[in-house]
Amino acid sequence: GSKDGSIQEVNVSPCPTQPCLLHKGTSYSINVTFASKIESQGSKARVYGEMLHVDIPFPIPEPDGCKSGIQCPIQKGHSYSYLNKLPVKSEYPSIKLIVKWELVDDQDQMLFCWKIPVQITS
């Protein structure tokens, strides 16, 4: 689903095996290296928990990609390292789901989109 960029590497840490075991009350590091196919003044992350084919918005503390390791404006043909945190709140249910992470450009087009299976656990 990455229209305006291409992903080179996705790293979720710590997550030695999939599905990632996400412990409640813990934050996980997200690092995505991607190349942009377009120019964009800014970028914004949208994160969802996917359950039974329904996307439930997953709030993250910093949705602004320009404050998450990306030097803005984004330039065509350049590679960027996007860095963020995925906080797992203690009130989340203990379930298996898919985390879907999108980064959109200033035209609301996809710079990248990736999914990872997770298991939320206490």
The tens digit of pLDDT for each residue in 70-115 reads 999 999 999 999 999 999 999 999 999 999 999 999 999 999 999 9
Phi, psi dihedral angles at 7 (to 5 degrees) = -75, 135
111: domain range?
Answer: 3-118
Residues 15, 63 contacting (CB under 8 angstroms): no
Order of strands across the sheet that contains 54-57: 20-23, 110-121, 96-105, 43-51, 54-57
Task: Answer whether residue 36 shows pLDDT above 70.
Answer: yes
| Per-residue pLDDT, 86 | 92
Q: Which residues contact 113 (CB under 8 A, 6 or more apart)?
A: 1, 2, 100, 101, 102, 103
Residue appearing with tokens 């998450």: 68
- Whether residue 2 is predicted with pLDDT greater than 80 in this model: the reply is no
Which two tokens mark 25? 């009350």
Domain count, the chain: 1
> Residues 5-31: pLDDT tens digits?
999 999 999 999 999 999 999 999 999
pLDDT of residue 53: 86
CATH number, domain of 48, equals 2.60.40.770
- pLDDT score of 1 more than 70: no
